[in-house]
Chains A and B, each alone.
Chain A
Amino acid sequence: MKRMKLLAAMALSVTMAGTASADLVIPSLEYRTGPYAPNGIHFADGYTDYFTLLNERDGGIGGVPVRVIPCETAYNTEKGVECYESTKGEGALVYQPLSTGITYQLIPKATADGIPVHSMGYGRTSAANGKVFSHIFNYPGTYWDAASIIVKHILEQEGGDLSGKSITLVYHNSAYGKEPIRTLEELSKKHGYNLTLIAVDHPGQEQKSQWLQIRRERPDYVLMWGWGVMNQVAIQEAANIRYPMDHFIGVWWSSSENDVIPVGEGAHGYKAIAMHGVGDDYPIYDDMRKYVLDAGKAAGDGSNLGKVLYNRGMYAAMLAAEAVRTAQEMTGVADINSAQMRDGMEALKIDAARLAELGLPDFGPPIEVSCGNHGGPGLGAIQQWDASAQSWSLITGFIGADRDVVDPLIAEDSSAFAAENNITPRDC
């Protein structure tokens, strides 16, 4: 009992020991364990390594070192809450929860605490409306953008006409998986395709019924909103029933090497939407190897460089770092706080020249965030898997979403949220 008390006291002193030194605190809510660990590891490595690179190469951002606080969530909401509460006191600038559940948790809480949340291409889609969601950002694109972009790509494939075609959505039976349904329904009204919805329950080890149904109905296209083991099994089953893989398109969370490599040859031709470039053929990777990997400072074992989710983690870190820089320029203060960070994120502007300067030429589309639009440009490209070369390649340029469809939906959903929570939209 005594020892327990001692430990408790230790733990207490540990958690309460806030440091006041001048550094930029960026918590990394990551999951390297649990059912989604294979994906979480890549993202977390990329996220952490980029900040390590900045510290090692440039001495931080604007001369202030970045302190990344890793906190393991295991994709579990309660652990996420614990992580949030234990790190926010350290002066956290921005949260990147990488989980729909935790994001929904943090939307009201972080807003009340004045700390911005960057749910990059996930979380609540209507948070793109900055008038209602002052502290939530989901640039560079939302699920509804993604759904619309995929449909646009299909339109292009079909020569601009989808009437009478059938599209099936295979989705993770959770808040995340249900996100695109509204948009796809709207788009089906506009383009005249038939939409079939097929839910897959967590974890998705067993999808025989679902794919037998697809095999019977032979839809022209299959879209997937999956995560974790569901992706591999779905791609495997699609390959088994010999569904034409180039008609099978996943969202950006169903687009990693983890999902296709276990399937082997069968996955050849599988497509997914991408929010950024693929591979490690970017100048930044030279620096990454030199300053981080070879110096033995990498967060992981270094084998993940250039993988899709590693790139995404790095991209997320880059966007955060650029927002810090923007905030520093706006305020003239180097050691910014979370309120200034929020302003920086809202004024974020990254053009092609800046991307090249960062060592990531044409890695992503130019991004411009504004007070009213927290969703960024809403652009995405389509990537395709080459099983023999074991690599992804972008097969289109960055395509814009159908704003006529997406924007009213965002306005509708965010105003419902505002009404429910008594939020008066800001003037922008």
Chain B
Amino acid sequence: MFYRESGDFKTSYVQDQQIFPIALDRVFVGIVIAFAFLVVPFLIDDYWEKSVLLPVLIWSLAAIGLNILTGYCGQVSLGTGGFMAVGAYASYKITTAFPELNMFIVVLLSGGVTSLVGIVFGLPSLRIKGFYLAVATLASQFFLVWLFNKVPWFYNYSASGQISAPERLVFGVAISGPNAPPWATYLFCLTFVVVFALIAKNLTRGRYGRSWMAIRDMDIAAEIIGVAPLKTKLSAFSVSSFYIGIAGALFFLVYLGAVEPTEAFGIDKSFLVLFMIIIGGLGSILGSFIGAAFMFLMPVLIKNVFVGGFGWSTDIVAHLIFMIVGGLIMFFLIVEPHGLAQLWRVTKEKLRLWPFPH
């Protein structure tokens, strides 16, 4: 029924180079995007907005960012939390300094700031590799969080060091602050996610994506065939940080509304995003979405079923969530080390070839 196009019938390069070469994929993605833009906003309420859709969208964006760095360029980073903090604090400083500035621009500028910071902290990657790099990126994580906690300028000298998102309007509708309607915040985030997911998809297919992957697969070999490691690695750090910065800005402005750096952007966030891309699939945009949804929604789902459905006590369920999530991570790694996206890819290939797989 699905994926039964029975063969490749591409007759031009343009056709062959489409983002989604399979017609059904195009239709499917189109339907999902249309549904997300046209139908969901009418159904959404506070719970779905704050507990399901916004976090999944924002984490997906962060996961795409990290996936560019880790999945495509092969540089393992544990600094995601710190870079999200840069995005959040940049957006806070920008929007409080220029209250009239359009929020789209604020968020994009925050991404830009984070991108610059990312380049600086990406410099060690030219010399350090593998797990050594992963642990070294923790330096940026801890340093950035410490910095935002310590320097009062970043939080506008407020008494406690918390930053709160002021109310800002886009096209006359509030998208931050307590009075923002759920559909508005949702659409705001969705726009960013869809646009930047498509850009990422294109980027990874193009010249830059290919040089990233060359570096990932073997950096010395890549260097020999003429891929400049400096430019390539730093561009990956920069693009990746840009995405993560945008995610951080949205995380603060739209989703949480008030953050303090140690708690909201701690080391566990860095690990969480890494889990997402590994569970979802390294080097896959779709995997970033699946991973984010899985890692964020799984605990909520388990909680709702066991606490709400079966009436178990919350602490037992909380311990069980740890065990189940941990167990599932191990299970998926054993079954499919390349992530959930790979499972989907394999299924799709099988479907396309069925019933004559040979």
- Asked if the two chains touch in their complex, CB atoms less than 8 Å apart, one says yes
Listed in ascending order, the chain A residues whose CB lies under 8 Å from chain B are: 7-8, 10-11, 14-15, 30, 32-33, 41, 70-72, 74, 76-78, 81-82, 85-86, 88-89, 100-101, 104-105, 107-109, 111-113, 124-126, 173-176, 178-179, 181-182, 201-202, 413, 416, 420-422
Please, how many angstroms separate the alpha-carbon atoms of A78 and B259 in the complex? 10
B: number of interface residues (CB 8 Å): 42
Residues of A within 8 A of B303 (CB): 72
- State the 9 A-B residue pairs at the shortest beta-carbon distance, nearest first: A32-B315, A112-B178, A108-B178, A14-B308, A175-B160, A11-B304, A72-B314, A82-B51, A33-B318
List the interface of chain B (C-beta within 8 A of A).
46-47, 50-51, 55, 146, 149, 158-162, 164, 166-167, 177-179, 256-260, 262-264, 266, 300-301, 303-305, 307-309, 313-315, 317-319, 322
A-B contact pairs, 26 of them (CB 8 A): A7-B301, A7-B305, A11-B300, A14-B304, A14-B308, A33-B322, A72-B315, A100-B260, A101-B260, A101-B263, A105-B257, A107-B258, A108-B177, A108-B178, A125-B159, A126-B159, A174-B149, A174-B161, A174-B263, A176-B160, A181-B159, A201-B262, A420-B164, A421-B164, A421-B167, A422-B167
**Which residues from A are CB-within-8-Å of B159?**
125-126, 178-179, 181-182, 413
List, in ascending order, chain A residues with CB within 8 A of B47's CB: 15, 85-86, 89
Of B161, B164, B315, B322, most buried by chain A (CB within 10 Å of CB) is B315
User: How far is B149's CA from A168's CA once the two chains are assembled, in angstroms?
Assistant: 20
Q: How far is the CA of A89 from the CA of B263 in the complex (A)?
A: 27
Question: Taking the nearest CB of chain A, how far is it from the CB of B138, in angstroms?
Answer: 14
Shortest CB–CB separation between residue B33 and chain A, in angstroms? 21
CA distance A78 to B59 in the complex (A): 12
Per the bound structure, the CA–CA distance linking A126 and B162 in Å amounts to 13
B320 CB to closest chain A CB, in angstroms? 10
Complex contact A85–B160 (CB within 8 A): no
Given known contacts A178-B159, A178-B161, is B258 in contact with A105 (CB within 8 Å)? yes
Is there contact, CB below 8 Å, between A85 and B50? yes
The CA of A109 and the CA of B49, in the complex, are separated in Å by 13
Complex CA gap A182/B152 in Å reads 13
Could you tell me the distance between the alpha carbons of A203 and B315 in the complex, rounded to whole angstroms? 21
Min Cβ gap A230→B in Å is: 12
Within the complex, the shortest CB–CB distance from B56 to chain A, in Å, comes to 12
CA distance A203 to B287 in the complex (A): 33
Tell me, in angstroms, the Cα distance from A88 to B50 when the chains sit together: 12
A298 vs B308: C-alpha distance when bound (angstroms): 20
Interface of A is mostly: helix
Assess the B50–A178 pair: CB atoms within 8 A.
Answer: no
Alpha-carbon distance A111/B178, docked complex (angstroms):
8
Q: State whether A78 touches B315 (Cβ < 8 A).
A: no
A178-B161, A201-B146 are contacts. A10–B264 as well, Cβ < 8 Å?
Answer: no
Please determine whether B258 and A104 come into contact, CB atoms closer than 8 angstroms. Answer: yes
Query: For residue B145, which residue of chain A has the nearest CB?
Result: A201
**B residues less than 8 Å from A11 (CB atoms):** 300-301, 304-305, 308-309
Residues of chain B contacted by A105 (CB below 8 angstroms): 256-258
Taken together as a complex, chains A and B put the C-alpha atoms of A234 and B231 apart, in Å, by 48
How near does chain B come to A345, taking the closest CB pair, in angstroms? 20
Q: How far is the CB of B284 from chain A (nearest CB, A)?
A: 18
Q: Please report the C-alpha to C-alpha distance between residue A163 and residue B314 in the assembled complex, in whole angstroms.
A: 51
Give the Cβ gap from B181 to chain A, nearest Cβ, in Å: 11
Q: What residues on B are CB-neighbors of A422 within 8 Å?
A: 167
Distance of A82 from chain B, by nearest CB (Å): 4
**CB contact under 8 A between A72 and B50, given known A11-B301, A111-B178:** no
Contact status of A72 and B258, CB under 8 A, knowing A78-B55, A89-B47, A421-B166: no
Flag if B315 contacts A33 (CB, 8 Å): yes
- In the complex, the answer to whether A81 meets B51 with C-beta atoms within 8 Å is yes
Q: Is the CB of A77 within 8 A of B300?
A: no
Give Cα A78 to B50, complex, Å: 9
Query: Could you say which residues of chain B place their CB within 8 Å of the CB of A7?
Result: 301, 305
Seed contacts A32-B318, A89-B46; 19 additional CB < 8 Å A-B pairs: A7-B301, A10-B309, A11-B301, A14-B308, A15-B47, A30-B314, A33-B322, A71-B307, A72-B303, A77-B259, A78-B256, A81-B256, A104-B258, A107-B258, A108-B164, A109-B257, A113-B178, A201-B262, A421-B177
Residue of B nearest to A126 (CB): B159
With a cutoff of 8 Å between Cβ atoms, the chain B residues found around residue A109 in the complex are 178, 257
> Known contacts A8-B301, A33-B315, A179-B159; is A82 also within 8 Å of B258 by CB?
no
Q: With A33-B319, A105-B256 given, is the CB distance from A178 to B160 under 8 Å?
A: yes
* A14–B303 alpha-carbon span in the complex (Å): 11
Cα A318 to Cα B45 with chains together (Å): 33
